[in-house]
A and B are shown apart, each in its own frame.
Chain A
Amino acid sequence: MAKSPKLGSVENRKAHWIEWATGAVSAILITALIGWISYQAATQADGPPDLSVTVVSSMGRAGGYLVIFDVNNAADRTAAAVVVRGEITDNDNVIETAEITLDYVPARSQARGGLIFRNDPAGRFRVSATGFSEP
């Protein structure tokens, strides 16, 4: 299957200007890539994951109420196995809890999930991240 090395193989022929142009553009792209990552690496903070949960929507469904939420990670470290717990309270009594584990919430990124309740969560609902592990 191997090509027999022959005279005038593609490397040794006189290069067309397009080859040099492609090469130059590629070299610039790679330099820019490495430069950008280096800049980010030099400026990033080394704190633990910083998680916050925001509710996106809440709606009634057959068999329960669906609450969709986003978990944001503002830090430069990724959190894995992020546990998000939602609670419906009535005058300090917790009526119902629902919990879900998200696989990853990457650094400076967000992940979406949903919780399903049997009671209507409107107005008496709170949701927060309760734990994570390092990937």
Chain B
Amino acid sequence: MTKGGTRADFDHGRFAKGLARGFAGALLFALPMFLTMEMWELGLYIDRDRLLILLLVNIPLLVLLARRIGFENVTTWREALRDASIAYCLGIAASTFVLFIIGVLKIGQALPEVLGMIAIQAVPASIGALLGRSELGTRSESSEDEKDPIGETRGDGYGGELFMMVVGALFLGLNVAPTEEMILISFKMSLWHAIAAISASILLMHGFVYALSFIGGHELDENTPGWHALIRFTMPGYVIAFAISLYCLWTFHRLDGLDPIQAIVATAVLAFPSAIGAAAARLIL
């Protein structure tokens, strides 16, 4: 943490590249949400307490994500915090930029509206900004990561796997959570449909990671039976996807006034994309 040391070998070009990548990641991840009508409306009517909770929950998520991925080689919590703030800032910048160029926000609009819309969009955009470093970066450039102790442990470990599933579930889940289709589908479905959706989500999650075995697939040893992985990874993964879906729907006021069983069905609908996202994240991230 010697200031002199960091200044001496500070590479401006590389830092600027990192910022540009973060901005690109924010756009890539959050554009579907920037262009969703329900998200603009939510910016106006979302309960300010729920918005505050969402904005606060985003901070530890970004710090943990920075710890795993980060703009630069992150070795300490302080650096992770720094990267998380940069990502949050890029998220705010990206949502302000896009909402103004598509004409959703105009100069002279009431401040609470403007702030609400930018704030709610900044959350997915900031996650995208952090993911941008990982997804858009090239392997050759991060070859030095191999010697980095965090680089070695990245993605390893039980907690790491579960965290990656959280990120993946948010990635796909957030894209569709604000849309009206989520509750509309749940109203069209019977409860038997909901059970089928839950079972299908779990089967697909398991199949994605173990049966299909894409690159980076998690091959099982001969002496590790499939049900071991089902209990230890897929089941907790589905619970994570379900919990995140429930939280997203609650935050976006989709569960207001709903009977618990109806709320569960709506959550099962959103948990379907979230579960796929969670499974995919274990392979990709």
Residues of A within 8 A of B (CB): 1-5, 9-12, 15-16, 18-20, 22-27, 29-30, 33-34, 36-38, 40-41, 44, 78, 80, 103-104, 106-112, 135
Contact = CB atoms under 8 A, between A and B. Distances in A.
B231 interface: yes
B230 to A, nearest CB: 8
B36 interface: no
Q: DSSP class of A's interface residues: helix, strand, loop or mixed?
A: mixed
Contacts, number: 124
Nearest to A70: B257
B258 interface: yes
A19 to B, nearest CB: 5
Contact of A38 (B156, B161, B162, B195): B195
A30 B239 contact: yes
B233 A11 contact: yes
B262 A2 contact: no
A10 B158 contact: yes
Nearest to A29: B239
A22 to B, nearest CB: 5
Contact of B216 (A2, A10, A34): A2
Interface in B234-285: 235-236, 238-239, 242, 257-259, 261-262, 264-265, 268, 283-285
B218 interface: yes
Contact of A1 (B135, B156, B257): B135
Given A2-B215, A11-B218, A33-B264, A22 B191 contact: no
A27 B228 CA distance: 12
A22 B214 CA distance: 26
Contacts of B157: 10
Contacts of A5: 216-219
A41 B190 contact: yes
A104 to B, nearest CB: 6
B69 to A, nearest CB: 11
